[in-house]
Structure 1
Amino acid sequence: MPSHPESDELETSPRATSTASSLRSTSTPALIRSYLVYTACSFPLIIDSAPGLLHAFTHSGIPGLKGLTEFVVRHTFFAQFVPGETVEECIPQMEAMRRRNVGAMLNYSAEADLDAAGEGDSREAGKAFEKKRLEEVYRALERAGEFEAGMEKRGGMRGSTCFALKITGLIDPDILARASTTLLRLRPLSQSSSPSSPLSGPHPPVAYPGTPLSSDAQVIARETGDTRYLLSLKGGVEGMGILESDEGLQDGDLEELGVLWGKLRDLGAFAKKKGVKLMIDAEHTWYQPALDAYTILLAQEYNRPPKRGLLGLGETESPIDGPLVFGTFQSYLNRQPEYLQAALHHAEENGYILGVKLVRGAYFVQERKKWKDEGRPGPDPIWADKEATDKAYDGSVTTIISTLARQLHSTHSERALNVVFGTHNQESCDLIVERLKAEGLAVLGEKKGSVRLREDVQGKVFVAQLYVGMKDDLTDRMAAAFEYAPIPFALKYIAYGQLAEVMPFLGRRAIENKAVMSGEGGAAAERSRLSGELWRRVFGG
């Protein structure tokens, strides 16, 4: 599927009139472009070389090379995977997707080019980019809220438009890394002084990068008090891969972390008002302890079900039901089974709705390399092979769906979890449908071969794929498998941003998703679909 539909005309209803292959509505030039792009993606050498080549060509002193590179990328990979440079340019794509019963997850994919700045100016450039990114998040939430309101007026239901929030884009990532090191040094001390910490729960220990504790707030959201002991924490941490030499918090870091917490709370309040869900991106494990802690704090504040009055009237602060904040659970991490159980336990014990975005994970190459290069003790944090990752993902699917079924039959069904299953794997998609049916959360639909989510499950379970122009056939199949509902079951990531700022992202994501592109059902399968449609148009059929 191209990133730009042929027709921008929106019907008077968001009802999907057809969930047939999106290729049928794709222009022939766009099909040819897609075929060429996926042909290039079929060669691992091209994928591996992409980030370095893009950087070299766009920073070369050769006259015209930068402009030529940007022209080629704009009319190939950018046009294939990025619907636009602004949210406004993405709206036609979002409308076209909604007609096919597919929702959108916006992802502002710009990355700062700090290499272009001198060493003395890099921090100032970073600060300027953080400000720009924050402003863009607010702009995107505003536009996404308007889009959702428009869908509601046409008979749809709010809640399928989300925004992927990258916290490392709002602060110097080095501060998050130092905060994470300090958190991993602090947690054993906190657990020994308070072994019944409500965030740890009665579950087995969680492997690196661990799980949040109540004491984390004094690091990431501190308001007052003596901070000297936090800055003085040193030493390695057994079982967590922390070395004696790892850098912890420095002077000024706590103030920066406090400012970040204020930004995140304000963003949460604005997203709640606009009715747009926040998907907190998972990132490298050396940032994850701090990111997990922020996610838990946000969830406790914004994921509580509305209070009901004597007449049954509830709060009306947000136009959507369910959780606002979703944390990302990476199945390729060894910690996944225990971490998921700890999160489920904490949400139930503390009276809020857990929002889960379940993925396999994309940083395994960098994670393994960093662990080995730095000589960290013990095995690296990634499962030994893909089969183990698949097992962890599918096991999490079963755990999540069975927990949802139990919670919906409990006395606090309003606290039932919500989940976005992020996967490009057909077997995992089949498992999701099978488990929903087995738990009675989905039933056979009126249309032969289709299923229908139970009414109280609609808007609580989603399946998502990366990106527009990638694995669109799987997205179409998942949308077609479920009967039309006011809120789409299938979601699609929509990356956007200015070309020069998105190119590093495109190159990096190509490597991170190389397994998807080169494996069964990857670029070769996409190329086969495209050639089949081109053949049909030329020779009929």
Structure 2
Amino acid sequence: MINRSLFENTGTAFTLKSDSELERAYFLFKMISSEPLVRIGTAVTNFALKAHLPVEKLIRATVFDHFCGGVNEEDCLPVIDKLYTEGVSSVLDYSVEGKAEENQFDNALEKILKIIRFCDDREAMPIVVFKPSGFGRFLLYQKKTEGVALTTEEDAEWGRIINRFDTVCKLAKEKDVEVLIDGEESWMQDAADDLVEEMMRRYNKDVTIVYNTLQLYRWDRLDYLKDLHQRAKESGFKIGMKIVRGAYMEKERDRALEKGYDSPICENKKATDDNFNDALNYILNNLKDISVFIGTHNEASCFLAMELMEAHNIAKQDNNVWFGQLYGMSDHISFNLAAQGYNVAKYIPFGPVKDVMPYLIRRAEENTSVSGQTSRELTLLKTEKRRRKL
């Protein structure tokens, strides 16, 4: 029987937070809950960094240290080790965005390979992650998705992208580290999907190493999963799938309106929730063929996953099912699930403070737009502060 009050346990949720860290978290979420403050803070931070003002220490001591693990892999080790004392694993996420040069893609490849080697022999780090656009130009994925013929130079460029994917997946297979490949905008995603599927065919023969991402605010994704499942059964490979609701909703809707095509996004939040839960149900019904990383901050979806696992007699420690949340958020889900014996991992963003700022700004803006998320964090932090006083 699932304990429906599980996520109310703030003692377990914030067990790793000192009183001062608890106060910092409360202050940050209070700030994030105000849209004008986020807007002003973002503008001031961007200006200060561009003007080379000495603000990195301040950023590091507040928002960076709350949402990020460190500036490099070694810097993240204390966070990784600390989380693992409570049974929570780590997924190091090199969160430097917006690069577009070949040498930058090669640098990103070397960074991911270094992380895989860093994961080797570290039980606390069984998974790595990267974005397709970290390994190649976004516009090239877009051209492939739209079926536009590539030039000779672009063909060679695409070949280098395939090689980067293959190099990562091959090493991950050797080291028995799972690879999550993030989803991006719909107008480049088909090319990424095809490439990830090819990696699954190569490296997911016996166990699941390579995972694609389903952004389930898209109404077509469950059908895509079912079609992929059919191909996997016919060709004899396993599917790895990270399921999330999605990260580019406004951008997707604006582009559909501007270009005059039907929006790929579900019509409302309920339709998105239903789509997510239907995909979860489908995967847990087919766990012999599909492994899942359940990336969600939604309590109802977590409860549904727990109930489905119980109904299908899926062990809590079955490596085909992982729950994941972002570092600095939803500790009431992560730590309470881990305490119950489920596989849980935190996404740990890292990178130089200045380079990680676009990620942090997006995180603040997303929290502002999902007011329920922020108010839930504040309520739980308030409850824990009160509990500690008593």
| Fold in common (TM above 0.5) | yes
Aligned mate of 1:134, from 109, 115, 133: 109
* Larger proportion of helix: 2
**1:67: how far off?**
2.8
Which residue in the other structure is 1:298 paired with?
199
Contact map agreement 1:20 1:480 (CA 8 A) in 2: no
Pair 1:98 & 2:69 matched: no
Within the alignment, does 1:496 sit opposite 2:350 as a pair? Answer: yes
Equivalent position of 2:334 in the other structure: 475
> What whole-Å deviation, never above 9, does each CA across 1:496-525 have from its counterpart, x for those lacking one?
111011001111233345444x11xx2222
**1:45 maps to 2:10:** no
Q: What are the superposed Cα offsets for residues 240-285 of structure 1, whole Å, 9 maximum, x if unpaired? A: xxxxxxxxx3441111001111121111111112221110100011
Deviation at 1:470, TM superposition (A): 0.6
Say what the alpha-carbon RMSD is for the aligned residues. 2.2
CA contact (8 A) 2:242 2:292 kept: yes
Q: Is the CA contact 2:127–2:179 (under 8 Å) kept in the aligned structure 1?
A: yes
Task: Write the letter of the residue equivalent to 2:321.
Answer: V
Letter in 2 for 1:174: L
Instruction: Quote the offset at 1:165 in angstroms.
Output: 1.2
* Equivalent residue for 1:458, pick from 302, 306, 318: 318
| 1:385 has 2:376 as partner | no
The CA distance in 2 between the partners of 1:24 and 1:104, in whole Å, is: 17
The residue aligned with 1:330 is 215
Change in 2 beyond 3 A, CA 1:271/1:502:
same
2:234 aligned with 1:349? yes
Identity of aligned residues (%): 28
Residue by residue over 1:429-469, the C-alpha shift from the partner in whole angstroms, topping out at 9 and shown as x without a partner, is 11111111122224xxxxxxxxxx3xxx7111111112x11
Which SS does the other structure have where 2:211 is aligned? strand
- Structure 2 equivalent of residue 180 of structure 1: 145
Superposition deviation, residue 181 in structure 1: 1.2
* 1:269 has 2:167 as partner: no
1:161 to 91, 115, 126: 126
Structure 2 length normalisation: TM-score?
0.91
Query: Which stretch has the larger CA shift, 101-110 or 505-514?
Result: 505-514
Q: Which has the higher contact order (CA 8 A, sep 6+)?
A: 2
Structure 2 counterpart of 1:80: 66
Determine if contact 1:303/1:353 at 8 Å carries over to the other structure.
yes
How far the C-alpha of 1:50 sits from its partner, in A, is 5.4
TM-score (norm 1): 0.67
CA contact (8 A) 1:54 1:504 kept: no
Contact 2:367-2:374 at 8 Å conserved across structures: no
State the distance in 1 between where 2:41 and 2:159 align: 37
Q: Indicate the larger mover: 347-356 or 504-513.
A: 504-513
* 2:84 alignment partner AA: R
1:363-412 Cα offsets, whole Å, 9 max, x none, are 10111111212x233x21101111100000011111111122xx4xxxxx
**1:19 to partner: Cα distance:** 10
Q: CA deviation at 1:423?
A: 0.9
| Structure 1 Cα separation of the partners of residues 86 and 14 of structure 2 | 12
Rounded Cα–Cα distance in structure 1 between residues aligned with 2:33 and 2:367: 12
Over 3 Å counting, the alpha-carbon distance change for 1:496 and 1:101 in structure 2 is same
- TM superposition shift of 1:129: 2.2
The residue that corresponds to 2:360 in the other structure is: 506
Q: 1:51 to 1:132 in 2, by over 3 A?
A: farther
Aligned partner letter, 1:427: A
Q: Does 1:362 align with 2:353?
A: no
- SS at 1:469's partner residue? coil
Larger Rg: 1
- Structure 2 runs not aligned, ≥5 long: 1-8
Cα distance, 1:109 vs structure 2 = 0.3
Structure 1 residue 536 displacement after superposition: 4.0
Corresponding residue of 1:56: 47
Q: For residue 83 of structure 1, give the secondary structure of its aligned residue in structure 2.
A: coil
CA contact (8 A) 1:363 1:512 kept: no
Matched residue SS, 1:304: coil
Distance 1:357 1:53 in 2: 35
Q: Which residue of 2 aligns with 1:449?
A: none
State the distance in 1 between where 2:254 and 2:280 align. Answer: 29
CA distance 1:496–1:380, change in 2 (3 Å):
same
Task: Indicate whether 1:529 and 2:380 are aligned.
Answer: yes
Distance 2:58 2:378 in 1: 20
Relative to structure 1, is the Cα distance of residues 32 and 92 closer, same or farther in structure 2, using a 3 angstrom cutoff? same
